[in-house]
Amino acid sequence: MELGIFAKTFERPSVGSVFDAVRAHGLRVAHFNMSCTGRPSMPDAIPEDLAASIGTAAEERDLTLAGVSGTFNMIHPDPAVRERGLRRLDVLAGACDAMGTDVITLCTGTRDPDDKWRRHPDNDTDAAWRDLRRSMERALAVAETHDVTLALEPEHANVVDTARKGARLIEEMGSPRLKVVFDPANLFETAPPDERRRRVEEGLALLGEHVVVAHAKDRRADGTFCPAGHGVLDYDHYLEQLRAAPTDAPLVLHGLAEDEVAGCLAFLRERLGGG
């Protein structure tokens, strides 16, 4: 199982120096974010030479970009905000080939108008699901145009907050371009140990064949996020289930500070037998 990391974990003055930091930890996989270029994660424009320079910098360092972040609020209560996100998704998708990746990672969004990572009670309404479907249909048309894959991430605070809802959306969309980012720490906030393990097993049973990126982060007992190995998630169980799933997705660290990277990598490498 290949280990990787969110590139934006490392704050550096250039993309090349960010990639150097990734490689200095013995990693050959990174999840890219346009914020590494000093721009917003979802820019209104990406110059062709910038996209090409990202791809060149990765290739020169023998670094694979497992994906690029394209998260925007797909069910924002203001349709204009959703429209802006879809326009920026088209910009990002158009730059993917030059950057050397064909995966864009998504969140499914929330009715909260201010924070796409904050849960809202209206997320569970039929209207929210209809808006998600409309946004995803248009996003998939963008993916088709630019020959990329979209990977949604079930997230406790978003409209797709369970593996079962993720599987439902994939079935309803019926597109081979819709895949999954699997993060077990996003499938619960607080839950007993048996329930946490059950959700991991259910999630990979339902979504395993669609997983193109797996995440490594954790949750504390109080529900707050923390780096892999610092919380309550049973990592031996998670990695066992991930290895048994029908996917060869990389395992990508995120949700950690740079000074926590070495310890988290040691934790994961020990459990993976030095891999």
Region 240-262: mean pLDDT is: 97
Taking the domains of the chain in order of start, what are their residue ranges?
Answer: 3-271
For the CA atoms of 129, 134, 137, 140, the dihedral, rounded to the nearest 10 degrees, stands at -90
Give the tens place of pLDDT for each residue, 129-154: 999 999 999 999 999 999 999 999 99
Q: How confident is the model at residue 275 (pLDDT cuts 50, 70, 90)?
A: very low
Give the tens place of pLDDT for each residue, 86-128: 999 999 999 999 999 999 999 999 999 999 989 999 999 999 9
Region 251-264: mean pLDDT is: 97
Closest residue by Cα to residue 152 from 100, 198, 107: 107
- Would you state the pLDDT for residue 273? 87
163-173 and 193-207 helices, crossing angle to 10°: 10
Give the tens place of pLDDT for each residue, 158-189: 999 999 999 999 999 999 999 999 999 999 98
Please report which helix (H) or strand (E) contains residue 82, including its range: helix 79-99
d(CA 61, CA 72): 30
- Would you state the pLDDT for residue 203? 97
Averaged confidence pLDDT in the chain: 96
Task: Report the 10 Å Cβ neighbour count for 14.
Answer: 13
CATH number attached to the domain at 3-271: 3.20.20.150
CA distance to 141, 183, 189, 217, 237, per residue, from 221 (Å): 41, 17, 9, 14, 18
- Would you state the pLDDT for residue 274? 59
CB 182 within 8 A of CB 213: yes
